[in-house]
Amino acid sequence: MAEAHPVGFQWVMEAKARGATVIHVDPRFTRTSAVADLHVPFRAGADIAFLGGLINYVLTEGKDFREYVTAFTNAAELVGEDFADADVEGVFSGYNAETGRYDPISWQMDGAYEAPAAGQRDHWEPELREEHAAFTSDTAGGVGDQAYAPSDPERDDTLQHPRCVYQVLKRHYARYTPEAVSRVCGMGVEQFLAVARAITENSGRERTTAWVYSVGWTHHTVGAQYIRAASILQTLLGNMGRPGGGILALRGHASIQGSTDIPTLYDLLPGYIPMPNAHLHEDLQSFLDADAAKTGFWGHMDAYLVSLLKAWWGDAATPENDFAFDYLPRLTGNHGTYGIVRDQIDRKTFGYFLVGENPAVGHANGKMQRLGMANLDWLVVRDMQMIESASFWKDGPEIETGELRTEDIGTEVFFLPCANHTEKSGTFTNTQRLLQWRREAVHPPGDARSELHFYFHLGKKIREKLAGSTDDRDRPLLDLTWDYPTFGVHEEPDPQSVLAEINGFDADGNHLASYTQMKADGTTSGGCWIYTGVFKDGVNQADRRTPGAEQTWVAPEWGWAWPANRRTLYNRASADADGKPWSERKAYVWWDEESGSWTGHDIPDFEATKAPSYRPPEGATVEDALSGTDAFIMQANGKAWLYAPTGLADGPMPTHYEPVESPVANLLHDQQDNPAREDIDRAWNRLNPAMSETYPYVFLTYRLTEHHTAGGMSRFLGYLSELQPEFFCEVSPALARERNLEHLGYATLISARTAIEARVLVTERMKPLRIGDQRIHQIGLPYHWGSNGLSVGDPANDLLGVVMDPNVHIQESKVATCDIQPGRRPRGPALLEFVESYRRKAGVEPGGIT
């Protein structure tokens, strides 16, 4: 965190100054480790073994926060009899070896179908979907699943029933003993126990523990399950919905949270409303009908969606035309970034916008990325610098090797300079869902323009060209509300008007104050329901800057947090079942009997007047179906899920699988790697075999403080380039001796994809690990470099193959294998032969760009 998020790390240091213990669990000794109370080195890709070990410790030692667990989780509910645990084999019931996918029906609770509040959407195969129609309806849409009214599952509040979630969980993790964790992760038993003791002693009524992670957890074939494992641990320890608790995702760069809320993701509409599927959602009614009966706050999705459609298409969205629901694009499959690139190479996709993105350097398997871009008709690159993704056609690595020839590349590349964050106004949404308005400090130079300017005027131009068209396919564009006020000589759209549109209006044109005002009848509009309230009273709430010293410690008047300016989600859980704070020290939100309402330091994330004693009447829907103790209000059943009967493509409980490219066998289960993972089996995406002697070393990619992601914002600047001037790899002295690597000399790193070269930094911060009987070396590779800019080097991501998590289609880029040899890599066509010789030696099929 100190490495990639130094500014946010000030709060960790602040907590440390106030007595917090900081533990850093990371394969490398980083700047974070340097100031942590304890650094625990371990093997990349072994996190679920580690977290599972902690869960096992909590359950076997009885360290869970029992009152919290019984009040707010599904621990007491019984899992259906059909469920078979992964056990020794490592595969759950419902796995289809032919398709490589799970049918999760056997994971369901006893006597109830439960639906995910988010998560896996596409994991029902069409045939399964039909088969389980009784249970599920809007499966492709996912979120609609909460629509299904659950009858309460069987429960055992003593937590003794062998099929109750608590016992199922305990059995599942029984194999994750401290000794097993030590063997799998390469950390000492004492080290593991020190962490286990530290976090359990620091959780409970009086204390809370927070976990912070970033892409070291998500960039894996089991990335979603990493987070699930942390969720289970934190829920068992009662660290969710309470001050000082939680699981905090550090996003890759500023406002990635914002681009998830108002998404650049293919399968979501703003506010986590699912994108409709081409075949399942012929019309609005079938999309919403999928929500046959609704419990929890997702029950109001109709109001959120109709308001969104009204915001986009205004008067053109009428009850008669389904509020223009047909104008929405539809999903036809996996359109995730790697799927798109595969389609580019297959000549199924012909145009590409790259906006502040440099896939030629920043994405896994750079060759695949460049090959995709070389097969386009047109490519628009909006960036501040001439990045590699805009120049690959003349100086990319494939040009050097002769795999591509400039004259054969038909892609027309449009490079457009863009404004940076100090050159335009708008919001950043940080990982705490906090929207902070920033103002333009300087005008963008030359022809550089903001993204808002670009898209607004692009839209205007397209609409001008389409004006008068009678083709129905042009209606969505022509009917858009595209009327933002502009200012200045460049006709810059007013970003506040966009924020106001996102906030939404009522029928009279007043700014909405809360998403609870949204209606499904078309009388309200709002571009993102969770952001409603950010323009309450016509005031840009995100622009509030009351200093911390002039307000309470929760600081509600700094910026604005979605939803409804709540700073901690699910904060009902900060009070016990009766609504009393768990402790004075950790009091946050509580039930005030006198006033008959919830109150506290934060805005309660609960209906203000729903008493803790409230129990839903039979047949209640939406929020009325949640009881006064159902703190997790976005869940259909209001509970935190220790066991996830649905929503995940690769099992109801996180299970340790080795990375696809791992030097060791899975010591916990027979199944080596995630059986449900997604592959791209092409010559340009060969994988290193597991336990390969040809590719014996683990490498991991990461960022340095001095550079920013793929380098577009740092490698071109002298002040930053001089701080980390060259691409390097970090190796331990032992590995340096083993491979004759010289400090500051060159090394060549080889995978089944390609070979790259890097300067060598020999450092004691890299430690060899003992895994079972093996000694495992890990190599660190910062991934910032490419061929352009002041500081240049080979892209580390070229070394990676693409193999993905089945839930979110994210690549496994934080761990893979390679070989390392002293000296520089071959140049030109010799490089191809060099890499091919390694593939031959490893028994990998021939690679190439065909």
Partner 1 sequence: MTLFDAFSGAASSLSGPLPDPSADAGWSAEHPKRVGFFTDTSVCIGCKACEVACKEWNLVPDDGTDASDLYRLTGMSYDNTGDLGASTWRHVAFIEDVRPHGTATTGHMPSGLPALGGSLPRDAASAPPDGGTVDLLALLPDTGAHGQQTPDDERDVRWLMSSDVCKHCTHAGCLDVCPTGALFRTEFGTVVVQDDICNGCGYCVPSCPYGVIDVRESDGGAHKCTLCYDRLGEGLEPACAKACPTNSIQFGDLDELQAAADARLAELHGRGVEEARLYGRDPDDGVGGDGAFFLLLDEPEVYGLPPDPIVTTRDLPEMWRNAALTALGLGAAAVAAFFTGGRR
Residues 661-720 that bind partner 1 (CB under 8 A): 704-706, 718-720
92 binding partner 1? (CB under 8 A)? no
> Per the structure block, which two tokens stand in for 781?
């590779």
Query: Is-contact 502 527, C-beta < 8 A?
Result: yes
CB of 529 to partner 1, least distance (A): 34
Closer to partner 1 by CB, 580 or 743: give it.
743
Contact in structure between 425 and 399 (CB atoms under 8 Å): no
- CA–CA separation, 187 and 365 (whole Å): 31
Kind plus residue range of the DSSP H or E element containing 108: none
| 773 lies in the site for partner 1, by CB under 8 A | no
Establish if 648 lies at the interface with partner 1 (CB under 8 A). Answer: no
What's the CA gap between 304 and 86, in Å, rounded?
Answer: 39
Question: Between 50 and 323, whose beta carbon lies closer to partner 1?
Answer: 50
Strand partners, 599: 590
Query: Looking at beta carbons only, is 187 or 831 nearer to partner 1?
Result: 187
Q: Please tell me whether residue 580 binds partner 1 under the rule CB under 8 A.
A: no
8 Å CB contact between 687 and 661? yes
767 lies in the site for partner 1, by CB under 8 A: yes
In the complex, what is the shortest distance from the CB of residue 43 to partner 1, in angstroms, rounded to a whole number?
12
Please count the residues of this chain forming the interface with partner 1, following the rule CB under 8 A: 58
Site string for partner 1, 151-190 (x = CB under 8 A): -------------------------------------x-x
Report which DSSP code applies to 165. H
What span, in angstroms and rounded, lies between the C-alpha atoms of 623 and 311? 25
Residue 823, classed as helix, strand or coil, is coil
The contacts of residue 468 (CB under 8 Å, 6+ apart) are none
Helix, strand, coil abundance in the chain, percent, nearest 5: 30, 15, 55
Closest CA to 274 of 140, 125, 147: 140
Asked if residue 423 binds partner 1 (CB under 8 A), the reply is: no
Does residue number 248 form part of the binding site for partner 1 (CB under 8 A)?
no
Pick the piece of the chain touching partner 1 (CB under 8 A) from 121-129, 330-338, 414-422, 768-776: 768-776
∠ CA 175-178-182 to the nearest 5 degrees?
A: 105
User: Does the footprint of partner 1 cover residue 631 (CB under 8 A)?
Assistant: no
Q: Does 10 bind partner 1 (CB under 8 A)?
A: yes
Concatenated DSSP letters of 32-67: HHHHSSEEE---TT-HHHHHHHHHHHHHHTT-S-HH
Nearer to partner 1, 301 or 731 (CB): 731
Q: Which of 86, 762, 820, 831 binds partner 1 (CB under 8 A)?
A: 762
Residue 350 near residue 786 (C-beta atoms within 8 A): no
Instruction: Give the whole-angstrom CA distance, residue 697 versus residue 741.
Output: 14
> Does 528 contact partner 1 by CB under 8 A?
no
563 binds partner 1 (CB under 8 A): no
What do you get for the CA distance between the two ends of the chain, in Å? 40
Nearer to partner 1, 263 or 745 (CB): 745
Does 764 help bind partner 1 (rule: CB under 8 A)? yes
**Amino acid (one-letter) located at 374:** A
What's the closest the beta carbon of residue 399 comes to partner 1, in angstroms?
23
| Cβ closest to partner 1, residue 545 vs residue 743 | 743
Distances (CA, A) of 657 to 285, 437, 662, 709: 41, 42, 10, 28
CB atoms within 10 A of CB 48: 25
Measured distance CA(704)–CA(409) in Å, rounded: 34
Comparison of 38 and 555: residue with beta carbon closer to partner 1: 38
Asked if residue 442 binds partner 1 (CB under 8 A), the reply is no
| Beta carbon of residue 17, minimum distance to partner 1 (angstroms, whole number) | 8
Among 404, 769, 799, 835, binds partner 1 (CB under 8 A): 769
Which CB atom, from 226 or from 728, has the smaller least distance to partner 1? 728
Which residues in the 19-38 window bind partner 1 by CB under 8 A?
Answer: 19-21, 29, 31-38
One DSSP character per residue, 538-565 reads G--GGG-B--GGGS-TT-TTBSEETTTT
Q: Which of residues 789-848 bind partner 1 (CB under 8 A)?
A: 790-791
The verdict on 770 binding partner 1 (CB under 8 A) reads yes
Residue 722 as a binder of partner 1 (CB under 8 A): the answer is yes
| SS3 state of residue 120 | coil
Residue 749 CB, shortest distance to partner 1, in Å, is 17
Q: Is 768 in the site for partner 1 (CB under 8 A)?
A: yes
Residue 61 makes contact with partner 1 by CB under 8 A: no
CA 25/CA 40 separation, integer angstroms: 5
13 touches partner 1 (CB under 8 A): yes
- In 318-368, the DSSP E strands lie at 351-355
Q: Which of 724, 751, 778, 811 binds partner 1 (CB under 8 A)?
A: 724
Closer to partner 1 at the Cβ: 153 or 789? 789
Could you tell me the smallest distance in angstroms from the CB atom of residue 415 to partner 1? Answer: 24
Give the number of C-alpha atoms closer than 13 A to the C-alpha of residue 354, restricted to the C-beta side: 34
Q: Which stretch binds partner 1 (CB under 8 A): 223-231, 763-771, 795-803, 807-815?
A: 763-771
The answer to whether residue 772 forms part of the interface with partner 1 (CB under 8 A) is: no
Question: Do 741 and 820 form a contact (C-beta atoms < 8 A)?
Answer: yes
Alpha carbon 626 to its chain centroid, in Å, reads 28
For residue 763, state whether it binds partner 1 (rule: CB under 8 A): yes
Q: Would you state the structure tokens that stand for residue 264, as one six-digit string?
A: 């650049």
Q: Which of 443, 461, 743, 840 binds partner 1 (CB under 8 A)?
A: 743
By CB under 8 A, residue 7 contacts partner 1: yes
Q: Which is nearer to partner 1, 197 or 840 (CB)?
A: 197
Q: Does 254 participate in binding partner 1 (rule CB under 8 A)?
A: no
Taking the complex as a whole, how short is the minimal distance between the CB of residue 729 and partner 1, in angstroms? 11
In the complex, minimum distance from the CB of residue 3 to partner 1, in angstroms, rounded to a whole number: 8
200 near partner 1 (CB under 8 A):
no
- CA 848, CA 135: separation in Å to the nearest integer? 46
Q: How far is it, in rounded angstroms, from Cα 254 to Cα 607?
A: 32
Verify binding: residue 738, partner 1, rule CB under 8 A: no
CB nearer to partner 1: give 776 or 799.
776
Kindly state the helix (H) or strand (E) to which residue 27 belongs, with its residue range.
none
Question: Is residue 197 a contact residue for partner 1 (CB under 8 A)?
Answer: yes
Is residue 723 part of the contact set for partner 1 (CB under 8 A)? yes
* Closer Cβ to partner 1, 20 or 620, answer by number: 20
Note whether 527 and 484 are within 8 A (CB).
no
Rounded CA separation 462/260 (Å): 26
The residue count for the chain: 850
| Neighbour-count burial of 681, counting CB atoms closer than 10 A to its CB (0-12 exposed, 13-18 middle, 19+ buried) | exposed
- Summarize as ranges the residues that interact with partner 1 (CB under 8 A): 2, 6-7, 9-10, 13, 16-17, 19-21, 29, 31-38, 188, 190-191, 194, 197-198, 704-706, 718-726, 728, 732-734, 736, 742-744, 759, 761-765, 767-770, 790-791
